[in-house]
């Protein structure tokens, strides 16, 4: 089975611009979660999508948004980029089967640099 894929892998943007990151989960996985990783704040949860609905949200400003499509693929959008948004953005997919498994499998990440 192919793993979680994320595109693009690297991105350089300017302050004030917006960016869209994409994530394709493992086939059959129904849940996609997004995390931000920075040296100062560590790994922080952004949001989770399951069946095209946001099920959980972390403590991030409204500039961070996402969506999930009917094929479980997910996109994350950041508007009005700030220097502090520079980070590795990790996507994780999960089978999300009740009583079975909620473990999350991560993609390689998108490295976003804001200048």
Give the interface with other proteins as residue ranges (CB under 8 A): 31, 33, 35, 42-43, 45, 48, 50-51, 53, 55-58, 88, 90, 92, 94, 96-98, 102-106, 108-109, 111
Q: Which is nearer to other proteins, 14 or 98 (CB)?
A: 98
Task: Mention every residue, 6+ apart, whose C-beta is less than 8 A from residue 33.
Answer: 45, 46, 47, 48, 49, 56, 91, 92, 93, 94, 104
Closest distance to other proteins from the beta carbon of 97 (Å): 8
Phi, psi at residue 64, to the nearest 5°? -95, 120
Q: Which of 18, 52 has the CB closer to other proteins? A: 52
**What minimum distance in Å lies between the beta carbon of 108 and other proteins?**
5
Q: Is-contact 79 61, C-beta < 8 A? A: no
């Amino acid at each position: 089975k192919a793993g979680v894929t994320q595109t693009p892998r690297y991105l350089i943007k300017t302050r004030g611009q917006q960016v869209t990151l994409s994530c394709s989960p493992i086939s059959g996985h129904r849940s996609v979660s997004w995390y931000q990783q920075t040296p100062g704040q560590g790994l922080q949860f952004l949001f989770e999508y399951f069946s095209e609905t946001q099920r959980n949200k972390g403590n991030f400003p409204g500039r961070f948004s996402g969506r999930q499509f009917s094929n479980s693929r997910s996109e994350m959008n950041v508007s009005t980029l700030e220097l502090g948004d520079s980070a590795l953005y990790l996507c994780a997919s999960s089978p999300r089967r009740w009583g079975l498994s909620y473990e999350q499998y991560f993609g390689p990440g998108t490295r976003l640099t804001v200048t």
